[in-house]
Amino acid sequence: MLYLAIFFFILAVFMLLQAARQRKATGLPGGQIIYTDTRNWGPVEKPLYDPSVDLAGKPDFIVRQGEMVIPVEVKSTRVSQAPYDSHIFQLAAYCRLV
């Protein structure tokens, strides 16, 4: 019985380490994912909307770190030396929405 408990403890530690490696590989900031626009993580949410400026958008993820919420937009294009202006404006709009 003791061997079984030790086995499951070692398995749990291994799984935690593997999950941490996979999380780091995604490039997402640490924290809790509270919104997603990808079907891989769950059902697709409705767009965020700010009626005061008539702005709507759907970031790929919103991550909560303590009191902060961080919009995350994942781009599938090749990484350039600097972000494109359009990507910066898109992220600024998401910051406004959250």
Backbone angles phi, psi at 17, to 5 degrees: -65, -40
Binned at pLDDT 50, 70 and 90, residue 95 comes out as very high
Least reliable range by pLDDT among 2-11, 16-25, 48-57 = 16-25
pTM of the model: 0.66
Domain extent listing, the chain: 1-28, 31-97
Q: How many CB atoms neighbour CB 8 within 10 A?
A: 10
End-to-end CA gap in the chain: 50
pLDDT for the residue numbered 44: 65
pLDDT for the residue numbered 26: 67
**How far is residue 63's CA from residue 35's CA, in Å, rounded to a whole number?**
7
| 28-70: pLDDT as tens digits | 777 888 888 876 666 667 889 999 999 999 998 889 999 999 9
pLDDT for the residue numbered 7: 86
